[in-house]
Amino acid sequence: MTVSGKITSLVILLAACNIADAQTSPSPAAWHFDIGGMYEIENVEGQGEDKDGLYEPSIYFNAAYGDWTLGMTMYQEGPADYGNFTRGGYLNRPEFRVRYQFIDNDQVTFGLTGNVRNYGYHFKDDHGAQAGTANTQRYGLTPDWNINFDKQWSFNGWLSLYQFTHDLDETGYSDSRIEAETGIKYQFNQTVALKTNYYIERGFNLDENRNNGEFSTQEMRIYLPIEVGSNTFMPYTRLTLDRWSNWDWNTDLDREGHNYSRIGLFYGHDFDNGLSMSLEYAYEWEDHDDNDSSDDRFHYAGIGVNYAF
């Protein structure tokens, strides 16, 4: 699964923070907007079967009024051939979101998001000729929360429940998925904090006669956000607790185990005029238990920009 496919890209979180600040203002409710985009690349060292890697641009727009937020993001289909910059489609994976903030005070926040996303595919045969298309729809429901125990300790997170429909045999997706990240944050001072989170993503099938795209990922995620003026530096790591996958639903091969570990650095800057941007780099060790030669080294880089008004 690509990083851009996950529910919480860091730039969108920056945009959400801008909207949240507007919503907590004592002034009367008014419309607030933000627009932005991300450009992400992912590469596995020495691997050519994915056409040298992925480059995943996306653009988004959010509109907030009172406790309501409406959003749309256009994702792009991958992978890409860097040799001639060709791909199956361009910004052909739209996602629509509606969020309602039920509780918003100094002690507790709680919101609920509903979303629908289309995954479009353009298949090619061994000779590069067009070999059909597929479209899978994903419907999701995501509660998010934050509880402040005092000025230093807080508990926050989100939980997504997904249902996939249409062309599942062609795209290889399971019909259901759960994804969540939650944990404890400790604020040392106004500059430095420590976040320790548990993350899980599980693809499964409610239909007992199918085993398309079943997988499980459990990780410990540790973040160290450092805020200096208008700058945010956040080194982080992801440590695998358990990971397996079974993508070959035709032959029902045994589950393949994995052990991934990642280190990364996120940098964000707020220009104090509505404009903000981010940079991120991560390096990941990917070890698989199918054979000794399948271990990979993975690089991720992303740049994002957001304007709130």
Which residue from 222, 221, 295 is spatially nearest to 258, judged by alpha carbons? Answer: 295
Question: pLDDT under 50 in the chain at which residues?
Answer: 1-25, 50-51, 82, 249-250, 252
Tens digits of residue pLDDT in 217-252? 999 999 999 999 999 999 999 999 988 887 654 454
What is the model's pLDDT at position 294? 64
Question: Is 100:64 a contact under the CB 8 Å cutoff?
Answer: no
Question: Is 11:278 a contact under the CB 8 Å cutoff?
Answer: yes
Which residue from 136, 147, 195, 155 is spatially nearest to 5, judged by alpha carbons? Answer: 136
Which residue from 121, 110, 191 is spatially nearest to 147, judged by alpha carbons? Answer: 110
What is the model's pLDDT at position 244? 85
Two tokens, residue 192: 């430095």
Domain of 238? 3-308
What is the model's pLDDT at position 102? 97
Is the pTM value of this prediction over 0.75? yes
Q: CATH number for the domain including 124?
A: 2.40.160.40
Q: Half-sphere exposure of 15 toward its Cβ, with a 13 Å CA cutoff?
A: 29
What is the model's pLDDT at position 224? 98
What is the model's pLDDT at position 78? 66
Which residue from 74, 68, 79 is spatially nearest to 30, judged by alpha carbons? Answer: 68
Tens digits of residue pLDDT in 166-214? 999 888 899 999 999 999 999 999 999 999 999 999 999 998 888 888 9
Domain count, the chain: 1
DSSP secondary structure letters along 232-285: EEEEEEEEEEEEEEE--TTTTPPPEEEEEEEEEEEEEEE-SSSEEEEEEEEEEE
